[in-house]
Structure 1
């Protein structure tokens, strides 16, 4: 019965996505909008054709892992280190600015101090998925823009991991300060082990059996998910582990073949991810949280490009590049959703505050996608002039 239910769910999701995607393309709308709307329609708070979205959300998480792995395959380690060093101050200052903005809005709408702090923290980050999915491969390979976007997103992800550790500690009965120490030690250790393993084991195996494409495909998936699991066990995120796994292979000639072969698999899981976002939102609370969510979304969409533009100009980036990076990062993050879910499960915030964060995430995902696809080069642009794969 469980298998039939999962097959039926996949039938509804992908058939429905195909129909709505067709309508979206005819009406010149982003495909991401179709997936989120479909989730809201078919999920437990819509027509309830799919009652339990937890399994689908867990499965869809694999799409984020593959996305970061493929991103790592496109990044040369030397360029990455240089960019992280340059972007650190920008990432920290922008995070603090948006934490203050979110906190002040939370207080203004009568939320508790703790809820306002969590709302502020949720505004600190931009979406890795939106940022990378709308970034053309050509930009990543040939332009400074892609490296800068990736560097800022990675630094934000590291800050987000620390926040999630704090929330986990706050929610647990035993506070373990050593958890932070273990995490700080784990990151460089995993990087070193990953590069050594790739150099002395993985690449020799791939070179020896490079005639068997199926073998390379399997090894790539195993390496990606293995690194994700190791990172998660060490207190980091699965996404960070997958990214490290990708960067470790990036200098190999086989990297681009692996990237090409895994893209369809990534897209399959990302459709599930955006569907689960729409399906998990309780539409019954919309009336109570719409105004604060709209205010937060408008502030994020208006101020993130401006803040990043000012900060990036301070580190000698061009005006045009600074604006483009700001608009590409002009939303909140999937980490914001995780923070909302975790803070609710540990009773730090109520359902209303959690749904304000969720609604803000959905609104900024949708609206920032519109801004990017109609103004900057991206793989899903409706205009042929802007479409870059």
Structure 2
């Protein structure tokens, strides 16, 4: 039975409040509650909410706002220095994770193409988990925050390239190289155009009408979503466009006001995103892929922290900070889920391989959240000693 979007929102947010209460009472991370709610009332649970594709698209806006708010707190010069330092780590770690996952998947009898795409999906860490579980003061003002942001942005660029290859392979592969080249060219073009618009349009408007808070709120929303759409039109991702929108306006004194006012809106959409993650997972498929999913998840949860610790320690970072970063980035990514959805829809991988990526990603998101929340400072820590904002 189809239900209205209003009733779906009622079920999701009322259920989220109930599940969140239970999670807090039992000292569990809130992200776990949202994913569990999706599995419970989604189409593979009690089927109370069935249009998970729509909810996933709505929830994706939460990621866009997350990157926009992050950009608002960064200066372009600091970002450039961080990206240069993180490039080697991003490339070497991605290759290690690709080879590891490819080998494991092949051992379980999957095809080479299945193993290659699963391996590509395991290269990335979660931007949402990494940023949302890092205290705001650390994220914006400490060296560890700069390193994490630089690494995650480089991984996002690699993920976009993987997705573009998948889209091209599903269509006309003869134009794949040209599409990649145009998209890479689109990044500096988008950044340059954004700087011009901010300097000659947005900042004069903000300076003239900054007394009208509603207007500033609308202007920020329009700028964020407009840049996201512009990035998509150039073959990039909406996340990259939103981050560029944030960082180009970060020099304005009004940027902190925008950041504070958009945080509740970001959280609203992120709840929908995690709900959709749980709702889109077919629990009946677990019987076929549970063993490779568990093996792959355990390897991701152990190998990623060790790899990042080794690479960052090799860059003369302290051992404590290297471990901190490693565990915070020790999971698969929301891009892993997107790669699985795109690849199976294009007929490039088997349904079992797609479910393997989804199961591994969900397991690592859950386990990694526990590891970080219980051992490192986070805004949602159960322990008062570790709670930071």
CA deviations on 1:162-215 (whole Å, 9 max, x unpaired) are 111110110003531211111111000111111111111101101110110000
Task: State the partner residue of 2:331.
Answer: 331
What 5-or-longer segments of structure 1 have no aligned partner? none
In structure 1, distance between residues paired with 2:172 and 2:305 = 40
CA deviations on 1:120-178 (whole Å, 9 max, x unpaired) are 10110001111111111110232101110110000000011111111011000353121
Alignment of 1:329-368 (within 5 A): 329-368=329-368
Q: Which moved more, 1:140-149 or 1:34-43?
A: 140-149
8 Å contact kept, 1:74–1:140: no
Instruction: Check if 1:73 corresponds to 2:72.
Output: yes
Task: State the partner residue of 1:129.
Answer: 128
> Following TM superposition, by how much is the alpha carbon of 1:51 offset from its aligned partner in structure 2, in angstroms?
1.6
CA deviations on 1:40-78 (whole Å, 9 max, x unpaired) are 000000000112211111111111100000011111111
CA deviations on 1:261-299 (whole Å, 9 max, x unpaired) are 000000000000000000000011011111101011100
The RMSD of aligned alpha carbons is 1.1
> Following TM superposition, by how much is the alpha carbon of 1:346 offset from its aligned partner in structure 2, in angstroms?
1.3
Instruction: Check if 1:314 corresponds to 2:314.
Output: yes
> Following TM superposition, by how much is the alpha carbon of 1:386 offset from its aligned partner in structure 2, in angstroms?
1.2
In structure 2, distance between residues paired with 1:316 and 1:84 = 16
Task: State the partner residue of 1:159.
Answer: 158
CA deviations on 1:7-59 (whole Å, 9 max, x unpaired) are 01000000000000001001000000000000000000000011221111111
In structure 1, distance between residues paired with 2:98 and 2:173 = 27
Look up the SS of the partner of 1:269 in the other structure: helix
8 Å contact kept, 2:139–2:146: yes
8 Å contact kept, 2:131–2:139: no
Task: State the partner residue of 1:300.
Answer: 300
TM-score, normalised by the number of residues in structure 2: 0.98
Task: State the partner residue of 1:8.
Answer: 7
- Number of equivalenced pairs: 388
What 5-or-longer segments of structure 2 have no aligned partner? none
In structure 1, distance between residues paired with 2:192 and 2:50 = 44
In structure 2, distance between residues paired with 1:141 and 1:42 = 37
Task: State the partner residue of 2:34.
Answer: 35
Instruction: Check if 1:385 corresponds to 2:381.
Output: no
Task: State the partner residue of 2:198.
Answer: 198
> Following TM superposition, by how much is the alpha carbon of 1:235 offset from its aligned partner in structure 2, in angstroms?
0.1
Task: State the partner residue of 1:233.
Answer: 233
Task: State the partner residue of 1:374.
Answer: 374
Task: State the partner residue of 2:50.
Answer: 51
Look up the SS of the partner of 1:175 in the other structure: helix
In structure 2, distance between residues paired with 1:195 and 1:379 = 32
TM-score, normalised by the number of residues in structure 1: 0.98
Task: State the partner residue of 1:107.
Answer: 106
In structure 2, distance between residues paired with 1:384 and 1:254 = 32
Look up the SS of the partner of 2:4 in the other structure: helix
Task: State the partner residue of 2:18.
Answer: 19
In structure 1, distance between residues paired with 2:143 and 2:275 = 32
Q: After the TM superposition, which parts of structure 1 deviate over 2 Å for at least 4 consecutive aligned residues? A: none
In structure 2, distance between residues paired with 1:345 and 1:58 = 16
